[in-house]
A and B are shown apart, each in its own frame.
Chain A
Amino acid sequence: MKAQEVPQDDNSTYHGEKRAVYATTKDGDYGVVASSGWDVEAEATQQAVAELQRLADEAYAACETGKCSPLEYHMYAKRLDLLSLSQATGLFQWRIKRHFNVKNFNKLSDKLLDRYADVMGITISELKKLPQKES
């Protein structure tokens, strides 16, 4: 890629930052060019972020009606899934799934709740409820 062809698409996901891309000068010499983004990459990033948001929204709606515990919502909101939450907490996936049940979740000890809260970087009281909806 030539230096003047390096995309400068001002990706909103960069928040004004720039990424180093390798490209060639007129004489064919390689060097770093700071890029403000590429639409193609932004598309893929936004798609992934939107998918996580969709999962979190679905869980939020289900939790509101008592169909699942806030744990499931917080998991997606913190960009985790069953596998990565299991890996981070060291708990079996089937055990975490049980905690998605409101009844089981309400019986959890503070020690276990803290294990979840710690890997999500929130407090136990935050974990126990759904956040206020932004609107």
Chain B
Amino acid sequence: MSVASKEFIHKHAGHCESGVMSTMLSHHGLAMSEPMAFGLSSALSFAYLPFVKLAGMPLIAYRSIPKAIIKGLQKNIGVKMKIETFSNQQKGQERLDVLLEEGKIVGAQTSVFWLPYLPEEMRFHFNGHNLLVYGKEASTYKISDPVFEHVVEASEQEFLKARFAKGVMAPKGAIYYPTFVPENIDYASVVPKAVKAVAKRMLKTPVPIAGLKGMRYLAKNIRNLESKDRRYARLFLGHIVRMQEEIGTGGAGFRYIYASFLQESGKILGNETLLEASEMMTAVGDSWREFALLIAKSIRSKKSETVDFDAIAKKLESIADEEALVYQKMLTAF
């Protein structure tokens, strides 16, 4: 691609995968904001999987599964991506170096635990962190990690460890880059599809662990914490907040990013309903922040004080009701 050798511009993003895709596509001439990348891949979701454990805690997700944004953009706007994985570490490194020498910017899947530039407290064993490599000087990789305000670096050795971390969702050295980027996007046809997919998923998923039903199920489980071990109960609540705020969601478990997408789409298409839905989603996001604040207060309180599990559960149920209205609104937008 002729534009590939132009100067690379780093962009600060709320989330790693949407940030990488937004920066990568913009670099290749298709200007795209992070919320647009997130929205057009229908990435907003909710899932509560009590039987899948991460560090002893059930999986709680505010977005769809990892790689869904990369795949969703391929499907919805016709971008073509090449994803390469490796069984041999040496080959994985050589291939990356060749691509960089060609002047490409390359996406990579890594483990958070092994990235040297991350603060100690943020390093957990999570293998699904995405970032961009935009160059190499001597044996140091130049990295654009979207969740950082500035560019960062990692040595050959450190980066190899991060790319070939083992365990669940092992990245296997995965690197990716576009082979085809469309010149423009037909928003009028893509936005309705992407918006409806999210609304339907959240309102109508038949299983009790996903969408709004998943939120209500989580609320029920919060109530049940009353009879559980106190320490576990507090850790469980803290875990919800971490999944919502700490892991890079742009605030309120991706609800603000999505509200931003609804606003941008509403402006492009001149669609008043989408603009209204955006405002409603912002209010939903504010409610999620209140929910997190409620939890923080209860885990902060010292030993003997009781935690009001019912009040926390009620707040979550009211958010589910509030979100339902936004999705119904979104369905009437087209």
- Residue ranges of A at the interface with B (Cβ–Cβ < 8 Å): 1, 6, 13-15, 17-24, 28-32, 34, 38-41, 43-49, 51, 79-81, 83-84, 87-90, 119, 121
Contact = CB atoms under 8 A, between A and B. Distances in A.
Secondary structure at the A interface, as helix, strand, loop or mixed, is mixed
A1 B149 contact: no
Contacts, number: 133
Interface in B254-294: 256-257, 259-260, 263-264, 278-279, 282, 285-286, 289, 292-293
Contact of A22 (B124, B125, B251): B251
A32 B19 CA distance: 12
Interface of B: 12-14, 34-35, 53, 55-56, 113-114, 119-125, 147-149, 161, 165-168, 234-235, 238-239, 241-242, 245-246, 248, 250-252, 256-257, 259-260, 263-264, 278-279, 282, 285-286, 289, 292-293, 295-296, 299-300
A46 B121 contact: yes
Given A13-B121, A20-B250, A47-B299, A40 B241 contact: yes
14 contacts: A14-B119, A19-B14, A21-B251, A32-B12, A39-B296, A41-B241, A43-B238, A43-B299, A44-B239, A44-B242, A47-B235, A79-B124, A84-B167, A88-B166
A95 B168 CA distance: 19
A1 B285 CA distance: 8
B121 A88 contact: no
Nearest to B166: A88
Contact of B125 (A14, A39, A84): A84
A83 B167 CA distance: 10
B256 A43 contact: no
A44 B168 contact: no
Contacts of A32: 12-14, 34, 250
Contacts of A30: 35, 256, 259-260, 263-264, 278
Given A20-B14, A84-B168, A44 B296 contact: yes
A45 B246 contact: yes
Contact of A44 (B122, B149, B238): B238
A51 B235 contact: yes
A36 B77 CA distance: 35
Among all A-B residue pairs, the 5 with the closest Cβ atoms: A30-B260, A22-B256, A88-B167, A44-B241, A13-B121
A80 B268 CA distance: 47
Contacts of B35: 22, 30
A79 B125 contact: yes
Contact of A79 (B113, B239, B299): B113
Contacts of A83: 53, 56
A24 B282 contact: yes
Given A29-B263, A40-B296, A48-B242, A34 B256 contact: no
B277 to A, nearest CB: 13
Contacts of A29: 263
Contacts of B259: 22, 30
A19 B300 CA distance: 23
A37 to B, nearest CB: 10
